[in-house]
Chains A and B, each alone.
Chain A
Amino acid sequence: MSLCFTLAANAASFSLFSRKPDGPAIYKQQCAKCHGVAGQGVKDKYSDALVGDWSVEKLTRYIAKTMPEDKPGSCTGPHADAVARYIYDAFYSREARARNKPARVELVRLTNRQNLLAVADLFRASEEPKVTPGKGLAAVGYKSRTTRREDKVLERNDTKIEFDFGKGRPEWAGEGTNGFALNWTGSVIADESGDYEFVVKTANGIRLWVNDDDKPLIDGSVSSFKGVEHTATLRLIGGRAYPLRLEFFKTSRDPLANVTLLWQPPHGARQVIPARNLAPERAATTFILSTPFPADDSSVGYERGVSVSKEWDEAVTHVAIEVATHVTKNLDRLTRSKPNDKDRAEKVAAFCAELVAKAFRRPLTDEQKNLFVTLPLRSAAKLEDGVKRVVLLTLKSPRFLYLGIEGAQPDDFTVAERLSFGLWDSLPDAALMKAAGEGKLRTREEVTAQARRMLADARTRGKVQYFLHRWLQMNHIEDLTKDPNLYPGFTPEIISDLRTSLNLFLDDVVWTDSSDYRRLVLEDDFFVNSRLAKFYGINTEATEDFVRVQLDPKQRSGVITHPYLLAAFSYNKSSSPIHRGVFLTRNIVGRALRPPPIAVAFKDADFKPGMTMREKITELTRPQACHSCHAVINPLGFALENFDAVGRFRDKDGNRPVDTAADYTQDDGGVVRLKGARDIAEFAVKSEHAHNAFIEQLFNQVVKQPLPAYGNDTLNQLRLSFVQSGYNIQKLLVDIATVSALHGIEKPASTTKKKS
């Protein structure tokens, strides 16, 4: 890019300035009326703040070419340079922003997710049974409809529950006239958090229990032979196993026998529950709130608890009541005592004290014990009401609801809390509390060792999935259906399979030893089942379950080319280079974008028939106002034009060959020629910008505080360590957890002793 220096001409128009242009003065004179005196923006003029990631040089060129708006070309050369430098140093750059408004660790309340998980973990046993997903459920068969021990004739594992016995009897049931029965037990593993609809299709009698050992979720023991579909919906937390039991029986009168166990997971299609979500061992039940919450503030790109509202206060109150009801209903089990036991009151008080300490994440002082346990227990005539009062008080207490309110000095329990909410969004477990109690969370080594231990817990997987889904914007995707005439066969089942495929891929990258971030964008292995293989024309041995296949590396490159995301960032009838480009800009190459200055809707009918998508978008974003951003967005989006609206590879857009080559302008003004997805991926894995963006997004989602609040050099340190580790995501996670846990505690030397 060449720039003309027209100093003479401009000197005339800026005659009031001396020979050495005065940046602040020019800004005040020419820019402030639209951008505000401190670049904060002016309503009805240019309301966005002047902040961003361009270099001074790029800013200078932009100003010279386009500013001021009513007289572009009138501020160039040294004038443009001076004003650009002033803007950059005064408020535009990251450093200036950090200086002007130093980020700080704010007081935050629990997010909704944290509240839900913390309540679940309040009742979690310290030892959870191990379950091994993939093996299906344990089955026991009986040769009569009753399930008497002497009628037991079968024990085996069933990878899925989908049986049609027809009019006869299965071979294992032998001869007989009194029907037969099957009981399945084990666990069901939820991949994602949300509402799961369980479905049992059968012509016979069934009962189904999920995450509740007493009350069946579905009681279909009375049946009318016709194929009946029983359904019931249950909220589950992703990444956890739940006990499941299904009883099935055929009486002598039932003409047919069949049973299928299905579900519709959140974001998924109704399907037979696959083997990978079933395990033969019984998991422990999890207490899951049914209270709905008002959405958390996520205006800065991640959910955080920086505000309270009446709706929130009422939800929190509901939660407290729901938990109080749960506790009183299960008081015998929870306190291991019976109503008439002599030591009932004692046991109940001890249980309450334990519950409060768990909820507050620290041991109680005598004063607190009195205030939160003894007094409320004593205040009610009935023991149960006293217990309810303890729970209500505890769950409405700021000590439960807020993080880091220990007061003047963070201590060992603060570290434990930061680690557990960082990695799990939940309460510290017994091991962490023990370490805190013994003063073993004081050195960097100790904290890092705990973080590493915690990585192995399923809750960390849940948290990482939570991050990845936000990084890839998968949490917003609700409807991926496309025009059925243009994309026949792109069914809800395919969409559901694609999400599973992407989840499997993400898990595979993060949870193998190398945990290499670069694989996320460079990998050419994908997970497909037979349905996906058929739709996407992939040659592989057909199987119902997902297998890893290698695709053409010239075509596919990691998440960038995963059809789920390609379809998500597409229109109903066509690809959308803008949506794809914006996603790549922000989340893969890590550039900041402002909201569009003018709203322009894409209407296909506005364009001449026969134009390619690329031509249409080029036309659409031609106006000068679009340029500053679309010069970045479009080349990235065009590089993916090889993929249609459902993510299938294509050479042609309509009848015209696809052109994916485009020049991408870097933040320093340098230009890179990109010819396809792999070029973007290779550019990204080498880009500091991209690394920083990934680290900062992970940090924000994990810690829920602004990264700059943890020190000016923290991002840099994290990146150096990340690069050194071979871009190991697990290692980065441990680093982030450690940095945030030790914030304000760690002295320069990690061996600093603290008095206890």
Chain B
Amino acid sequence: MSQVQEGARPAAPANPDASSTRPAPRVAWSRRLLTAGPPIALIALIVIFGAANSRFLSGSNARGIADQTAILLVLAIGMTFVILLGGIDLSVEGVMATSSLVVALLAANDRNSNDYGMLAVLAGVAAGALFGLVSGLLHTRLKIPSFMATLGMGAVGIGIATVLFAGRSPRVLDEGVRSWGLDKWWGFSPLTYVAVAVLIIGWLIQRFTRVGRYGYVIGGAEGIARLSGIPIMRYKTLAFIISGSTAGLAGAMAASRLGVGDVLIGGGQMFATITAVVVGGTLLQGGRGGVHKTAIGALIIAVLANGLILVGVEPYVQRSVQGVVIVIAVAATGWSLRTRTRTIK
């Protein structure tokens, strides 16, 4: 939620994406960095950790990383759509919590006699979509900054989850649902395949639908989008619905893996998700990036997490590193836009 006042007459056109000179060397530089940086960083990390601990490069560890990345990737793909527009979704942990409890309570469990099987998973996704819808409406209709609206909705999500939790985690007894989390298909967890499927769907949406294409337009220069008559509120809300849905799916995935619905099931995911998106090369300011980049970002986060643990670093260092990375990424990508009279809130 930064506020830039466009009072001063711009010396150069206001839209930085359409710079009024040939792509100056430094602009091209930072763009090249954004595109090439993340894959290079990923390879570098793999090399470093592989050298530090040979177990890192083993097949079983690689499969483990893939499985660990599944939930993060699903979350990050949804988050990408919101961030592309220039917004943010801080509610993912709350949505995951509610979704996991919805799934745990609707599938066969040890607390009630429901037995909806895979429909329970759908219900979890739908719950997430509902959260996204509300967040989107609060943001577009009531003009509440997205970070504030989703912060509040996240709390509501934790709250609803707490109420459903009622003192004790309901355990999922449904074989079918649990098999998603526990089976192995050709060495990988089914959840990994789900994540890849979501990635493909996300990419298709980004490439072939209005939600995807207009995301770049609205995020790149909302004023131009408005002048072209694009119904901005609709697409912003849709982006939040997508983000909510993926959070709902992630909650269902976590419930199937852990076998319970829990309020804290999404712990730490918010930072990890945002970092994954940002590190992959999608600008927090919006307008540039994409799910294909987010996939690399998610791998980087997972590799980093896995590698650090193997090397013996405490897990909470992750969070600190992620916090710093987010700030550095935003600062670095926005560095050339700084001026004396720019008001960022």
- Are A and B a genuine interacting pair, yes or no? no
